[in-house]
């Protein structure tokens, strides 16, 4: 029995060894961010900006690639402010303007890419830890926390040349003000959980250099 086990193990190693030639390919990525903040009290709308970064594609086989990434991501939201929020816009004292609420991050992530039939079309998912580099929230008298944790998922298509087109959704998991979601509202004797989270839709391209 032991001999059969050893023989089976040797055969198994012999089968998977040719398939286990891991390839490392460096590259870069960039594109458009369409970002927003959930549950903001003010009138907000999505903000357009950009992301840019570097990557290493670790190809285990034709079906699966692990891709660690280092990105700079400009996020936030557009906020509409008005002098007299409940007055008629025709009032001469009324004014309304949009202000960009900017919160920018250096992100460390790792996405797993799963290729259908080993071809170019793939789905992807993975975590990201985001370190705030700067923001302009002092305009609003607030200061966002320094670290966010996000989940990334999306779709993409890779060409044999190394060029890849991707669409991703990046959902923050930590309230930008550190709110734990169990605060008490004295006005109506109830608890509420309106945390404010980063939410980003990304459209972009990446390129990985061919390696032997």
Q: Is residue 73 part of a domain?
A: yes
CA 41-133-27 angle, 5° bins: 115
| 87 assigned to some structural domain | yes
d(CA 81, CA 98): 6
Segments forming the whole domain that contains residue 52: 22-208
Which pLDDT score is estimated for 98?
A: 75
pLDDT at 116: 94
Residue 136: which of 99, 84, 165 has the closest Cα? Answer: 99
- Quick check: is 10 in a domain? no
* 1, part of any domain: no
pLDDT at 20: 58
Residue 65 belongs to domain with CATH number: 2.40.160.20
pLDDT at residue 82, as a whole number: 61
Judge whether 67 lies within some domain: yes
pLDDT of residue 86: 47
Q: How far apart are CA 103 and CA 148, in angstroms?
A: 11
Q: Which residues of the chain have pLDDT under 50?
A: 4-6, 8-18, 85-86, 189-192
pTM for the whole thing? 0.79
Contact (CB, 8 A) for 90 and 64: no
What pLDDT does 178 receive? 86
pLDDT at 80: 75
Q: Is residue 15 part of a domain?
A: no
| Structural domain count, the chain | 1
């Amino acid at each position: 029995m032991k001999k059969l086990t050893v023989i089976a193990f040797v055969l198994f190693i012999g089968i998977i060894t040719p398939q286990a030639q891991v390839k490392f390919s460096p590259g870069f990525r960039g594109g458009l961010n369409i970002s927003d903040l959930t549950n903001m009290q003010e009138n907000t709308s999505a903000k357009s900006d950009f992301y840019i970064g570097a990557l290493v594609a670790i190809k285990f086989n034709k079906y699966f690639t692990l891709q660690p990434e280092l990105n700079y991501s400009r996020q936030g939201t557009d906020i509409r402010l008005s002098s007299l929020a409940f007055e008629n816009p025709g009032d001469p004292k009324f004014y309304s303007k949009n202000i960009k609420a900017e919160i920018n991050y250096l992100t460390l992530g790792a996405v797993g890419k799963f290729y259908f039939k080993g071809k170019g079309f793939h789905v992807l998912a993975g975590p990201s830890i985001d370190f705030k580099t700067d923001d302009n929230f002092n305009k609003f008298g607030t200061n966002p926390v320094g670290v966010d944790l996000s989940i990334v998922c999306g779709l993409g298509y890779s060409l044999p040349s190394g060029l890849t087109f991707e669409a991703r959704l990046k959902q923050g998991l930590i309230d930008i003000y550190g709110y734990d979601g169990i605060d008490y509202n004295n006005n109506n004797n109830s608890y509420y959980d309106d945390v404010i989270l980063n939410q980003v839709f990304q459209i972009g391209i990446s390129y990985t250099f061919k390696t032997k």
